[in-house]
Amino acid sequence: MINPSGYEKSGDNRPMGTVDADTIVAISTAQAPAGIGIVRLSGPEAFSLADRAFQAYSGRAFSPSDQRKLRYGHIVDGGSVLDEVLCVYMKAPHTYTAEDIVEVNCHGGRVSVQKVLSLFLRMGARMAEPGEFTRRAFLNGRIDLAQAEAVEDIIRAKTGLAQESAVHQLTGGVSKKINGLKEDLLHLLAHVEYAINFMEDAMEDLPREPMEEEARALINRMNQALSGAETGRLIREGIKTVIVGRPNVGKSSLLNALLEDDRAIVTDIPGTTRDAIEESFQVEGLRLRLIDTAGIRETDDLVESMGVDRSLALMEEADLVLVIVDGSQALQKEDREILEKIGSRLHLILVNKVDLALSSDAQDLIKGEGSSGPVLAISAMTGQGVAELETALSDLFFEGEDGREGADFLSNIRQIDLLEKSRDSLSSALRGLEIGVSLDALDVDLQDAYQDLAAITGESIEEDVLNKIFQDFCVGK
């Protein structure tokens, strides 16, 4: 049997003492027929629990030098063998949670892992809450909050691009930018704090002009980050897309043409609260989530299901609107109404049925007359122009390859909201500098701006916010 005595002091290396001292356990892999399934333990008792349950095939006792090596044996409950496993021991603090960890590689499927899990529960481990392993990694100071969020984003990524962006965030891409902003903000704050504490005629003693310049430069950087963030969010969450147009212009034909070109149609299974049933497909790494495909596919009452009012309502909800008109016909009142109402919403106008003789309205549209946005000539039936449409879609979100790199930045709403708030407080501080408000007012604005930045990486964060973030995680992560 294993001799865990070498690990008695493992908890001493923890960077912060804010984590519950209990040992948690969960099944960390999906429970479906598969080669292996992993049960993970983390906490001060991880080694001793595993030690009691694991019998090495060689009969050789576990020694500290075995850590991070897979050992072969059985998980045994009393006299009976629950499963044949490979077991790995990892000592704090250089582990996922920064605590002692044991991972038991069982056979996959539901039963083996559940038997092993329930044995550890009976032995005194506690069932991990959703995201608790990652939460511990955060509370123990191994990763910051933006990195913790990235873990969940990697798991839930539905496209290569979304996963790439999340991996970049996990390796600290976002944190580095935020920390850079924080440092510069501290520099501004230091002037104000110094004047408050050590100067006589406070406001006069501030180097106001250089400070205003610094503040403007910082606001610019924040704005740049925010515009990239919107693309980041769309990459991460998918782009809510609606196809609008009068009956019979070719909406469902276009949908089919797009789906045919990319067979990766996904109908999400509503396994968690985050996923709703919807259809989506990928274009150049972007995921287009189609709103109301039912409305498009319903054929019996098209006027009702895709009337102009309904189109306008759907446009409100969408990140991206594809407007289709029938190129073989003159524009009708409804077409014009939709084209007028589209306004500044992100959209593409598609003149369909270009395999037929085009109406003069359609020809004008294609020449760029009478519309505000990009117009493409397509035939949903022959597939003409569909490839160009896909390129145009990608160009809406990225300006060339460089644009894709910029999209590595912030991606979730929580982070974006905080950065916006921080920018607004800083703008208010800038106005204060310009008109000469009291030092205290300036101090409050700059402090607010700093606190919001700090909350992005979780440097200062309320317990209930933390709970909200981790409650969306999967169990075992």
Site residues, ligand GDP (CB under 6 A): 245, 247-253, 296, 302, 352-353, 355-356, 379-381
Least separation in angstroms between CB 383 and ligand GDP? 9
Least separation in angstroms between CB 216 and ligand GDP? 49
Residue 300 vs 464, nearer CB to ligand GDP: 300
Residue 131 vs 250, nearer CB to ligand GDP: 250
Least separation in angstroms between CB 372 and ligand GDP? 22
DSSP state of 117: H
Residue 301 vs 434, nearer CB to ligand GDP: 301
Least separation in angstroms between CB 467 and ligand GDP? 45
Residue 77 vs 298, nearer CB to ligand GDP: 298
| Residue keyed to tokens 């287009």 | 288
Least separation in angstroms between CB 246 and ligand GDP? 7
Classify the phi-psi angles of 172: left when phi > 0, otherwise alpha if psi is within -120 to 50, otherwise beta.
left
Question: Residue 152 corresponds to which tokens in the numbers above?
Answer: 């969940």
Residue 34 vs 303, nearer CB to ligand GDP: 303
Residue 231 vs 311, nearer CB to ligand GDP: 311
CB 82 within 8 A of CB 119: yes
CB 133 within 8 A of CB 19: no
Question: Residue 219 corresponds to which tokens in the numbers above?
Answer: 């606001």
Q: How far apart are CA 214 and CA 360, in angstroms?
A: 55
Least separation in angstroms between CB 390 and ligand GDP? 16
Residue 127 vs 356, nearer CB to ligand GDP: 356
Q: How far apart are CA 26 and CA 468, in angstroms?
A: 20
Least separation in angstroms between CB 394 and ligand GDP? 22
Residue 151 vs 389, nearer CB to ligand GDP: 389
Residue 243 vs 453, nearer CB to ligand GDP: 243
Q: CA torsion, points 151, 157, 161, 166, in degrees to nearest 10?
A: -10
- Residue 325: name the closest of 251, 235, 236 by CA: 251
Least separation in angstroms between CB 473 and ligand GDP? 40
Residue 252 vs 280, nearer CB to ligand GDP: 252
Question: Residue 17 corresponds to which tokens in the numbers above?
Answer: 């003492």
Burial class (CB in 10 A: 0-12, 13-18, 19+), 152: buried
CB 231 within 8 A of CB 411: no
- Residue 429: name the closest of 149, 237, 215, 177 by CA: 215
Residue 161 vs 350, nearer CB to ligand GDP: 350
DSSP element (H, E) containing 40: strand 36-42
Q: How far apart are CA 93 and CA 27, in angstroms?
A: 22
Least separation in angstroms between CB 306 and ligand GDP? 7
Burial class (CB in 10 A: 0-12, 13-18, 19+), 468: exposed
Which are the contacts of 145, defined by CB distance < 8 A and separation ≥ 6? 138, 455, 456, 457, 458, 461, 466, 469
Least separation in angstroms between CB 406 and ligand GDP? 36
Least separation in angstroms between CB 277 and ligand GDP? 21
Strands ordered across the beta sheet of 266-267? 266-267, 279-283, 286-290, 239-244, 320-326, 347-352, 375-377
